[in-house]
Structure 1
Amino acid sequence: MNTPFADGIVNALTGAGTGRDPRSYNAYLFRRLSDVEIEATYRASWLCRKGIDKPATEMVRERRNWQADADQIKKLEALERKLDLWNKLKRAETLRGLGGAAMVMWIGNDRPDAPINPDIPGKLRSLHVWHKSRLTLGPMRTDPADEWYGYPTFYTLNTGGRLPVNIHPSRVIAFRGDPIPDIRGGSWEEQFWGDSKVQTVLDAVQNSDTAQNGFAALIKDARNRRVGIPNFTQIASSKDGEAMMAGRMKAMALGESMFGVTFYDSGDGTKGGETIEDRQMTWAGIPDINNNYLAMVCGAFDMPATVMLGKSPDGQNSTGASDIELWHKTIKARQDLDLRPCIDQLDVVLVPTALGAPDDEVWWEFAPLSTPSEKEEAETFKATADAMDKVRTSGAIPDEAFAKGYQNLLSEKGWIPGLDGALAEIPEDERFGLNASNDDDANEEDPSALQAGQRLAANDALPRTLYVSRKVVNVAEIKAWAKDQGLPELQDDLHVTIAFSRTPVDWIKMGGGWMGEDGKIVISPGGPRVVEPLGDRTAVLLFASTDLSWRNMSIREAGASWDHPDYQPHISLTGEPVDVSTIEPYRGKIVLGPEVFEEIREGGL
């Protein structure tokens, strides 16, 4: 014996859940809109048009950020402009919302019905976007092993007036509408193209438009004036009486317009005069009704009211900022799930056309949808710079690779205007921090002289002796001062010693010094300056620098040795006999380059 059961709430008093429930007779019926109806709704309703156009615009407005060499990016973006790619992607996304579209790639002189050869793709000449109605689908490919399984064997383009053209699916990028659940079947084309967005939002749009239009029709009745005239019917029945009444109404209107006063016949005491009644229409509740209908449209399009209307509807509680954040997440999801697969199919041909050959190292991401404020940009720059400095000091990335990546990041973000042009003027060994030396006559007594091949990578953690120095950048200024003071000609390789550890140490644990612009530091003009003998040098320029003294101390605290009781920043000038008592110290600025790490050479002091 089968026992009947019900799943849901039952109320014997109200009839809810029983045969007496009025909802028992509810049923949803589906009527597929024709292309004519979809087009009419899109063109006649501003709500529908904006609900379709706005997401399409948002998905492409910031375009994409290529990750490639600067020259490659220039070529790729030039081809995108030539093809008018982003305007055509916008049109394709708009037509997707109206039921589906196809972007057809015209490649060289290839036969359009032949598949694209992924190894030797032809040159991409142009892109064309058509609504699905311009295309007829061939039979579905049913072999699961086929790369284009589930797609038509071919698309037939109806060009109008010309013979139809069959196109291979690899050359057609299908922008398909909302997926249809494969429950009841349906035609092959219906299943492939899916539903138009208009299909699901039509009721909400019509309800809102009807409410808005109905309210607009009531505005003319906002203020009604009723004038009662004794014997009006009798007077108006004659031609003379009708003319008299017309003149009377004209006189009343003239009085109102000129003086803001209504003149009327108040009678003579024995007979009644004209009576005038003003009736004011009240709109209580109507704005709320309209706003609720607008909110339903926004929900149907999955779009916040701040985007659809440019503001929150009156009476709606909206923060604005949170709405935009959620909207950007929605657009990002549509970009990744719907638009990216279409662009990836296009790039199979676009990248080789622009670069001359496929390149698996070239990739891209959608550009961010929001533009940060100056304060937010500054905070992002500072946080990025701090993070990059930690990455550099960790030694996880070789110096040259790190320099290339960091420079590309700064260039892409646009944080340093003119950076690309400035870097292009610098030799590659200096630009990427290779610090190659061509000094074949290095002074063995000068531990800062850099010999080719002697500098070891800073990311090598093997303990070793350590010599840290900074080269003087403004050598010409100091040499000019020395010449005026009668000193022998100075060497070009002036430097400041920071650390000299005979004890082997782990270089990574030494950390990084204070870094100014381009890794340089500047000793400001003035302050204590003295020229004295020091060690085997007959003349050195002594000066004060808290930054250099602190750096020497931090390296010693990290385990490095130091052969002297204290540290005094100085620049060695000469070892030849000189009378330092006659020399006026150099008091200009001293510009020091980035820190140079190297091992102590044999014979070095």
Structure 2
Amino acid sequence: MNTPFADGILNALTGAGTGRDPRSYNAYFFRRLSDYEIEATYRASWLCRKGIDKPATEMVRERRNWQADADQIRKLEALERKLDLWNKLKRAEILRGLGGAAMVMWIGNDRPDAPINPDSPGKLRSLHVWHKSRLTLGPMRTDPADEWYGYPTFYTLNTGGRLPVNIHPSRVIAFRGDPIPDIRGGSWEEQFWGDSKVQTVLDAVQNSDTAQNGFAALIKDARNRRIGIPGMTQMAATADGERILSARMKAMALGESMFGVTFYDSGDGTKGGETIEDRQMTWAGIPDINNNYLGMVCGAFDMPATVMLGKSPDGQNATGASDIELWHKTIKARQDLDLRPCIDQLDVVLVPTALGAPDGDVWWEFAPLSTPSEKEEAETFKATADAMDKVRTSGAIPDEAFAKGYQNLLSEKGWIPGLDGALAEIPPDERFGLNASNDDDTNEEDPSALQAGQRVAANDAATWLADASPRPLYVQRKLLNAADLIAWAKDNGFDTTLPASDMHVTILYSRSPVDPMKMGRAWSEDEKGQITVRPGGPRVIERLGENAVVLRFAAPDLEWRHREMIEAGGSHDWPEYAPHITISYGVPADIDLDALKPFNGVLRFGPEIFEALDLDWKQKVSEE
């Protein structure tokens, strides 16, 4: 026996899902709106007009950011202004919402029915946007191998005053409406252009407009006054009575308007007087009904009420921030899925017209829809700078490539005004950190705290560096705040320490001969050539070598700089490089260094000092 199956719920008591269910007689039907009905709805209903216009405006209001040379960007943007591109894109998007539109490119003196040659597309002279009703579609291209498969063989433009013009589809940018599912077929033009947005939202818009208009009609009845006049029927039956009644009403209205009171005949005890009743209309529930209908319209247009109505949302602690964020995501999706393909088709001709030839290295992105606050911009800049610093210290990108990329990033973001012009004045070797200038004066106060850009040593380094032939090399950075470390050491039981002038961090101790001029310079140093290790992080007090007690600390910048020098030909006596500062050579062996809490403050190091390697340095060590 076959068991029948059906999707849905059955309830014998309520009739749900059975023949007694009233819903079983529901049915949807489709009536395609005419262009006249679509236009009338758009022009007569502010809700419909805003629902169509607002997304179109949002999609183009910030335009796009070109990724190209400054001169190329200037030429591209100049041509966009000449063509009035973004206003025309907005118009095309509005007409897309009303059922479809076409932007026609007029190129040089080419035949409009000829395809565009992408390698030599000609000069773009002008752009024109027309509603789909101005165009007749030729037969559909049915060859799957055809570049324009699914498009018309040609468009016929009917402008009214001229003979019809046939135009090749490569010259027509089609802004098509909502896609129609290919289920029941339909005409070729209907399938190509799709549905108007008005077709989908019409019921919601009409319901809301009807509710608002109905409520507006009730406002005049907000205060309803009824006046009872004895014998009014008999009085109105005669001409004299009608005249008296009219004069009475005028007098009553005049008295109320002048004095804010109503005068009426209260009778004389033997006959009844006039009676006046005031009725106040109750609006309870009507605003909620109107708001619900408005909410349906917003849902139909996929637009938050914050945007549609221009007001803050109702509800506890509601700010509208989440609504705006979701709205921007919706617009971004429409930009990428609907508008970008249209602009890409246009750029095949626009870019060569502006630049003189196609350029595959020129590209663009839509500009952000929202502008961050100064605080948000500062936080983004800091996070980006920290991330770029980690990329640099990883060693994954060569210095020159990293410098170029970082400078481009700063230029694109606009974080440093005038950066492009300033960098253009610097020779490439210095701009990308390959060599450093050496024309600053030495700091007169402290020979070890050198000015930015210098590569000199404390022991007559200017003479030593004059000859750049390979030789054993020692590179160090003096600890500028050595007094802080000495004070910590004395507080923790150190009897003596190295003098402040001798405290340093070694960058390179190379017994192998190396050309000092090939060492370049550190990327992480500031404008004075200094490097700062921030407070905290991994630190330890330990013995190193025979009897040195040192402060070891984590410093990726120094580690990367050391590795850079090794790659340039330097050598190192230890299996790995460990940044450290020697505190003392005279600490007794029985002191428990593990019990000491390491110095945790900031470490500020001066510029790099290049010196000839002194193998007898131990003989010169003294403490105080």
Provide the TM-score with structure 1 as the length reference.
Answer: 0.76
User: Partners in 1 of 2:153 and 2:58 — Cα distance?
Assistant: 33
The equivalent of 2:190 in structure 1 is 190
Matches within 5 A, 1:406-445: 406-435=406-435
The equivalent of 1:172 in structure 2 is 172
Q: What runs of 5+ residues in structure 1 fail to find an aligned partner? A: 455-463, 471-495, 524-548, 567-591
Matches within 5 A, 1:33-432: 33-311=33-311, 319-432=319-432
Distance 1:550 1:450, change over 3 A: farther
The equivalent of 1:559 in structure 2 is 577
Contact 2:106-2:124 within 8 A present in 1 as well: yes
User: Partners in 2 of 1:66 and 1:82 — Cα distance?
Assistant: 17
Letter in 2 for 1:559: Y
Question: What's the CA shift for 1:410?
Answer: 2.1
The equivalent of 1:577 in structure 2 is none
User: Partners in 1 of 2:468 and 2:55 — Cα distance?
Assistant: 58
SS class of match (2:199): helix
Question: What's the CA shift for 1:413?
Answer: 2.0
Question: What's the CA shift for 1:223?
Answer: 0.4
Distance 1:137 1:419, change over 3 A: same
Report percent identity of matched pairs.
82
User: Partners in 1 of 2:372 and 2:463 — Cα distance?
Assistant: 48
Question: What's the CA shift for 1:19?
Answer: 1.2
User: Partners in 1 of 2:611 and 2:141 — Cα distance?
Assistant: 68
Question: What's the CA shift for 1:310?
Answer: 1.2
1:531-558 deviation per Cα after TM superposition (whole angstroms, max 9, x unaligned) = xxxxxxxxxxxxxxxxxx9999998997
User: Partners in 1 of 2:270 and 2:58 — Cα distance?
Assistant: 75
Matches within 5 A, 1:418-567: 418-435=418-435, 446=462, 449=465, 467=475, 499=507, 501-502=509-510, 515-516=525-526, 559=577
Question: What's the CA shift for 1:260?
Answer: 1.7
Distance 1:520 1:264, change over 3 A: farther
1:72-117 deviation per Cα after TM superposition (whole angstroms, max 9, x unaligned) = 2122111111111111111111111111111111111111111111
Distance 1:35 1:413, change over 3 A: same
Question: What's the CA shift for 1:432?
Answer: 3.0
Contact 2:430-2:437 within 8 A present in 1 as well: no
SS class of match (2:114): coil
User: Partners in 2 of 1:284 and 1:174 — Cα distance?
Assistant: 49
Question: What's the CA shift for 1:328?
Answer: 1.0
Contact 2:313-2:319 within 8 A present in 1 as well: no
Distance 1:211 1:429, change over 3 A: same
SS class of match (2:39): helix
Letter in 1 for 2:28: Y
Distance 1:345 1:513, change over 3 A: closer
Question: What's the CA shift for 1:469?
Answer: 7.8
Question: What's the CA shift for 1:15?
Answer: 1.4
User: Partners in 2 of 1:168 and 1:230 — Cα distance?
Assistant: 84
Contact 2:433-2:523 within 8 A present in 1 as well: no
Contact 1:437-1:450 within 8 A present in 2 as well: no
Question: What's the CA shift for 1:180?
Answer: 0.5
User: Partners in 2 of 1:561 and 1:9 — Cα distance?
Assistant: 75
User: Partners in 2 of 1:228 and 1:219 — Cα distance?
Assistant: 23
- Which one is further off, 549-558 or 337-346? 549-558
The equivalent of 1:546 in structure 2 is none
Distance 1:562 1:520, change over 3 A: closer
Q: What runs of 5+ residues in structure 2 fail to find an aligned partner? A: 440-454, 479-503, 533-554, 563-573, 585-603, 618-624
Question: What's the CA shift for 1:244?
Answer: 2.5
Residue-pair matches, total: 514
Question: What's the CA shift for 1:245?
Answer: 2.4
Letter in 2 for 1:176: R
Distance 1:438 1:5, change over 3 A: closer
Distance 1:521 1:199, change over 3 A: same
Letter in 1 for 2:186: G
User: Partners in 2 of 1:138 and 1:260 — Cα distance?
Assistant: 73
Question: What's the CA shift for 1:380?
Answer: 0.8
User: Partners in 1 of 2:558 and 2:151 — Cα distance?
Assistant: 69
User: Partners in 2 of 1:300 and 1:453 — Cα distance?
Assistant: 77
Distance 1:362 1:550, change over 3 A: closer
Distance 1:564 1:202, change over 3 A: closer
Contact 1:501-1:561 within 8 A present in 2 as well: no
Distance 1:343 1:229, change over 3 A: same
1:23-82 deviation per Cα after TM superposition (whole angstroms, max 9, x unaligned) = 111111110001111000000000001111111111111111111222221221111111
Distance 1:520 1:116, change over 3 A: farther
User: Partners in 2 of 1:411 and 1:593 — Cα distance?
Assistant: 30
SS class of match (1:435): coil
User: Partners in 2 of 1:232 and 1:241 — Cα distance?
Assistant: 8
User: Partners in 1 of 2:325 and 2:331 — Cα distance?
Assistant: 10
Contact 1:229-1:274 within 8 A present in 2 as well: yes
SS class of match (1:242): helix
SS class of match (2:96): helix
1:200-259 deviation per Cα after TM superposition (whole angstroms, max 9, x unaligned) = 110010001000000000000010101111111222333333333233222222322232
The equivalent of 1:16 in structure 2 is 16
1:130-162 deviation per Cα after TM superposition (whole angstroms, max 9, x unaligned) = 111111111000000111110111111112121
